[in-house]
Amino acid sequence: MTVVQPLKGPAPIKPAARDSGDIAINCNVSKIYYGNFLAVRDARVPIHKGKITGFIGPSGCGKSTVLRSLNRMNDLIQGFRLEGDVHFLGQDIYAKNIDPVVVRRYIGMVFQQPNPFAMSIYDNVAFGLRLNKFKGDYAQRVEHALRRAALWDEVKDKLKASGLSLSGGQQQRLCIARAVATEPTVLLMDEPCSALDPIATRRVEELMLELKQDYTIALVTHNMQQATRVADITAFFGVDISKGGRTGYLVEMGDTEQIFQRPREQLTQEYISGKFS
Amino acid sequence: MTDTTIRGAPIGSSRVTGAGPAPILVHDWSESRALRNVTLTAGAWLVAILAAVPLVSVLYMLIVHGGARLSLELFTELPPAGFEMGGGFGNPIVGTLVMVVIATVISVPIGVLAAAYLSELGPDTQLGKASRFLAKVLTGFPSILAGVFVYAVIVLAMGSYSAIAGGVSLAILMLPTVVLTAEEAMKMVPRKMKDAALGIGCTRTQMIWKIVLPTALPGILTGVMLGVARVAGESAPLLFTALFSNYWLTSLREPTASLSILIYNFSSMPFENQIELAWAASLVLVLIVLVFNILSRLFGRPKY
């Protein structure tokens, strides 16, 4: 096993204002708006360190919206407005003096569609390192990241080939390698398997279980079986259509086993037994 | 069950439960549908060929009239005077190339940065909408007006016709093509790739420089080449800005020869030699544009 050198990245975020305990991200969203549209309300979702937190729920329940607000990816959407706060290791990332670009370097993201850059496999993984002006052994670091993503054996002889030449499942693992190369603290995964076939899905799931030894993972999934297979803790989101619009909210959250075996809420029970989706 | 019929037989007749004649699936050329299909296809072919006629005939004329005179001395010698025989157009080739390079050096950085703004930074801002509209207007801008404008702004100020003035007037004509095609090329870069860049912690500037521009490079080069092809043959703006010169270029601040002005001058002269040279120069001009196009295709191929 190779030894990982510490990443000399941007200046570390200042020491936690208050002890965050075993919570990596304390998401305390009371409302998320897109323009005048209330997309999400009441989503208090603590993301525990070293665990996989699964977000499940029907379409339009705002699970992706909540996930993307954890590293301020929603800032790029016009009209986005968040009420409440999101604390990352004790710091409110929506505070005025926070630089979202730095936040995203600590909280990496893997997207629904595999999205490697139009460059070589090697350069894809080294991209984040170069971005952070990493001084050290790039080749070793790239190999390490590709091994972490369980992709090394498949690509070690063609590191100069295009990242886009890989199959969908390989591309997604390349994206995971790219995300972990810079050793982020938290990985956000937004339905990372929805564009993959069952075999590739299985590999990515195994990978997530591997990765949780070093990373905190928040996973949005449309697939309840996936949540039962990989998530330690599950948050179930529902859709409230009572006020005309479609507003997502957190119905209940707990250990995955409890959510699927002994849900407290009627709605959760109906969802996991397949009465609606 | 149904009153829809195909070739006289009800549609339902071929179903499991329906009894009736087997469906007739063979071509029937007498049907109006088949006839319309053939006519329209033939019509489209005909029009496509008609559209190629002007281009092919111009090329044919150039090769027939200009090709005969093609030789190495055309590229090395100066244009002949009145009754002189021989000669070439070495200095107009240099002049055209120099002014196209000046135009490119001015219009590409401005055009690409403007395109980055239009595509990534402020696509829907008032400024973005206004400048996109103006760029579109500028694509149809009469080229002679670009010449008059540069005459007033640069030629009068410098006190002389010059390669610089010629290059600037060509840059004005090239700019909108570069802006609009580069914007289009950058918009073609998938949203998910841009999201990936931001998600890994790029600023928007880093996203543009490290991801959008390299990925869009082939498209941007195509735009630049379209611009070059457009201005390389321009004569009207150069009449007011670069004028012409019978001598080799020694300074960017003096009147400069160009192939298009040479063609314009020589084609109306009463001398056989000059008219032949005008034909040859036209052919060379087309070849130069062709070479630029091929080069851009070679270097603009997506690497990954």
- What's the pLDDT tens digit per position in B139-194? 988 999 999 999 999 999 999 999 999 999 999 999 999 999 999 999 999 999 99
Measure the CA angle with vertex B197, ends B195 and B201; round to 5°.
Answer: 110
Which residues lie across from A81 on neighbouring strands?
A33
pLDDT-based confidence at residue B15 (cuts at 50, 70, 90): low
Residue A252 lies in a domain: yes
CB A32 within 8 A of CB A69: yes
Vertex A254 angle, CA A250 and A255, to 5°: 145
CB-CB neighbors (< 8 A) of A115 in chain B: 190, 192-193, 195-196
Is A148 among the domain residues? yes
* Domain annotation covers residue A73: yes
d(CA A219, CA A210): 14
Residue A197, token pair as written in the block: 């076939």
The alpha carbon torsion through A128, A223, A154, A142 (nearest 10 deg) reads 20
Residues of B in contact with A178 (CB under 8 A): 196, 200
Residues of A (143-172) whose Cβ lies below 8 Å from B: 162-165
Mean pLDDT of A102-123: 93
CA distance A271 to chain B (A): 30
CB atoms within 10 A of CB B184: 17
Q: Please indicate whether, in this complex, the C-beta atoms of B203 and A111 are within 8 angstroms of each other.
A: no
Does residue A5 sit within a domain?
no
Optimal mutation site among B195, B200, B205, B209, interface A, most CBs of chain A within 10 A: B200
Q: How far is CA B240 from the centre of its chain?
A: 23
CA distance B275 to A106: 71
d(CA A152, CA B190): 26
pLDDT of residue A18: 45
Of A267-271, B161-165, B192-196, B292-296, give the lowest mean pLDDT range: B292-296
- Beta pairing partners, A91: A88
Per-residue model confidence (pLDDT) at position A12: 45
- Share the mean pLDDT of chain B: 90
Which CATH number goes with the domain that contains A59?
Answer: 3.40.50.300
Q: Count CB atoms within 10 A of the CB of residue A5.
A: 14
Residue A13 is assigned to a structural domain of this protein:
no
ipTM: 0.84
CB contact under 8 A, B195 and A182: no
State the first-to-last Cα distance of chain A, in angstroms, to the nearest integer: 43
In a domain, A11, yes or no: no
Residue A133 lies in a domain: yes
Stretch A186-208: mean pLDDT, rounded?
Answer: 89
Domain that residue A87 falls in:
23-272
pLDDT band for position B6 (cuts 50, 70, 90)? confident
Q: Which amino acid is at B42?
A: A
Higher-confidence residue: B9 or A158? A158
pLDDT at A125 over 80: yes
Instruction: Give the tens place of pLDDT for each residue, A87-97.
Output: 999 889 999 99
Position A233 in a domain: yes
Which of these, B98, B287, B199, lies nearest to A106 by C-alpha position? B199
Structural domain total, chain A: 1
Which two tokens mark A255? Answer: 């250990």
Nearest-5° Cα angle at A96, A91 to A100: 70
User: Which pLDDT tens digit goes with each residue over A198-254?
Assistant: 888 888 899 899 888 889 999 999 888 999 999 999 999 998 888 778 899 999 999
Q: Of A6-15, A243-252, A268-277, where does mean pLDDT reach its minimum? A: A6-15
Centroid of chain to Cα A180? 12
pTM here is 0.82
Q: Any CB–CB contact under 8 A between B246 and chain A?
A: no
